[in-house]
């Protein structure tokens, strides 16, 4: 496990502000965190260099782009070899419907979050994609009824 980068209070204020609105200008960020624009610029560059801050993205409303059905799918592998896992993970990377994937401990090997148009879309995806993969023994699906909480903010 990597050692955590040590954030001072000013770094924490910057990280919290950028997690809420990464599109704000350097001047607005400086005003928000109570520091000079030059100091904030140097700190942001250092946080990027250290890997604390990653790429800047915009969040999309799934319903507005026709992907309002959210499915959590647990997957069990037929075998636990490194080769089988690498093949499955390569498959996962190539499927745009899979928006998150976690290798798990416990009864299931992977947990997938899948964004699809409707139940029929998911049925095609699971039968022709996940269950057709030679490394997959079985899968169990749970459909999200509604989103109670969603955040991309990590506590700092």
pLDDT in tens, 50-99: 999 999 999 999 999 999 999 999 999 999 999 999 999 999 999 999 99
Residue range 133-153, pLDDT digits in tens = 999 999 999 999 999 999 999
Residue range 7-45, pLDDT digits in tens = 999 999 999 999 999 999 999 999 999 999 999 999 999
pLDDT band at 1 (very low <50, low <70, confident <90, very high): low
pLDDT at residue 2, rounded to an integer: 67
CA distance 132 to 128: 5
Residues 129, 71 contacting (CB under 8 angstroms): no
Beta bridge partners of 114: 71, 98
Token output for 81:
């070899």
The C-alpha torsion from 32 through 27 and 55 to 148, rounded to 10°, is 30
pLDDT at residue 151, rounded to an integer: 94
Query: What burial class does residue 15 get, using C-beta atoms within 10 Å of its C-beta: 0-12 exposed, 13-18 middle, 19+ buried?
Result: buried
Domains contained in the chain, CATH given:
9-49 (1.10.10.10), 62-143 (3.30.70.920)
> Which position has the token pair 């749970």?
142
User: What region does 106 belong to: left with phi over 0, alpha with psi -120 to 50, or beta?
Assistant: left
Strand ranges across the sheet with 98-103: 98-103, 110-116, 69-77, 136-143
């Amino acid at each position: 496990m990597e050692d955590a980068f040590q954030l001072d209070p000013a770094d924490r204020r910057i990280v919290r502000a950028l997690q809420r609105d990464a599109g704000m200008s350097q001047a607005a960020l400086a005003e928000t965190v109570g520091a000079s624009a030059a100091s904030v610029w140097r700190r942001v560059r250092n946080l990027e260099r250290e890997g604390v801050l990653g790429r800047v993205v915009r969040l999309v409303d799934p319903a507005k782009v026709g992907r309002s059905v959210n499915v959590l799918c647990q997957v069990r592998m037929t075998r636990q070899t490194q080769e089988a896992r690498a093949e499955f993970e390569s498959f996962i990377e190539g499927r745009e419907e899979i928006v998150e994937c976690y290798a798990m401990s416990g009864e299931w090997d992977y947990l997938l979050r899948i964004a699809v148009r409707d139940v029929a879309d998911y049925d095609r995806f699971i039968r022709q994609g996940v269950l057709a993969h030679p490394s997959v023994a079985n899968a169990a699906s749970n459909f999200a009824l509604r989103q109670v909480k969603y955040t991309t903010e990590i506590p700092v």
